[in-house]
Amino acid sequence: MLPRPDGRMIAYELIGDLAGDPVLYCHGFPTCRLEARLAEAAAQTHGFYFIAADRPGMGRSTHDPERKLTDWVSDAEALLDHLEIERCPVIGVSGGAPYAYLLASRLPDRINALSLVCPISPVNVPGVMRGMSPFVRLGLRLMHAVPSLGLSVFRHLVAPVPRHWPGLLLRMVARFHPPADARLLRNREVRSLIEQSLREGLRQGGVGAALELRLLASFTGEEVDMAPVMRTDIWQGTADPVTPTGMAHWYAHKIPQATLHVAEGAGHFSLPIDLMDDIMSQMLDRTRIATTRD
């Protein structure tokens, strides 16, 4: 646990090859640091370890009802200082992408490579939600248009399902998501890890997750003063019903040194797991380039 000056605690876990190089991991929504365990084998293979931290109100990190999206920058920088890490890459998966994007933009001396995996972008950009699941679209639009109602609905009606019955949620996902996701969710080990991450992410109830969703729904991109200048890889599946391809294209347009990798038929769950070896291999190449330039 990392204590913060305001009395909050940030929970984190180191996952992978602890003799290797660090990678800052920004988990998705509504999970937590345990999500990085899904990529542990790939990290071991490529000589990395993840610094996976729970954002405030998620997992075991203290809830902060006043927090803003940009506040994660100081928390993450404090964590790097605490671990005596001067520079490292950052990876943001799904709802973790805006946080990784902010870190790369605001900490260019600390972040040397950026990977965004099935990233969520600002939702108010025309066309980015084309192809999105109606349920996800409704939740984001409600949270964006009427935050107070969205917070209440998510906290009391939506969050209890993944918190108490994550298996039920994943069975619903398998039914309505593309075949690649359904196939992956039949894997007991993968399903168990996702269920653990959902339960732990929502261990404090729905209040922290509801605020997290509101922050994601209100993300505009204007929080970034200057686009990240380091080499960036964006990974996107064509069959993703949670963060459609338009969202990945938004980041590709915003980041000058971005390379967009599109996986035909990949879904929201299958892409980060099936392609994690490729993602980590590409990150290894990026950090080698950055080290050579330094």
Tokens, residue 280: 């980590």
Decide: residue 97, CB within 10 A, 0-12 exposed, 13-18 middle, 19+ buried: buried
Cβ 272 vs Cβ 39: under 8 Å? yes
Among candidate residues 123, 120, 84, 82, the one with its CA nearest the CA of residue 102? 120
**How are the residues of the chain apportioned to helix, strand and coil, as percentages rounded to the nearest 5?**
50, 15, 35
How far apart, in whole angstroms, are the C-alpha atoms of residue 218 and residue 123? 8
Please give the single-letter amino acid code of residue 58: M
Strands 9-10 and 2-3: antiparallel
Domain ranges for the chain, please list them: 2-293
pLDDT score recorded for residue 289: 55
Compute the distance between CA of residue 244 and CA of residue 227 in angstroms, rounded to an integer.
Answer: 22
User: How far is 42 from 60, CA to CA, in rounded Å?
Assistant: 25
Dihedral sign for Cα 273, 181, 97, 114, please. Answer: positive
Query: CATH number of the domain at 2-293, please?
Result: 3.40.50.1820
Residue-level pLDDT at 284: 81
- Amino acid in position 93: V
pLDDT at res. 292: 43
The predicted-structure confidence for 142-197, as pLDDT tens digits, reads as follows: 777 777 777 777 776 777 777 777 877 788 777 888 899 988 888 989 989 998 99
Low-confidence ranges of the chain (pLDDT < 50): 291-292
Q: For 172-181, b where at least 16 C-beta lie within 10 A, e where not — what string?
A: ebbeebbebb
Is there a contact between 54 and 10 (Cβ–Cβ < 8 Å)? Answer: yes
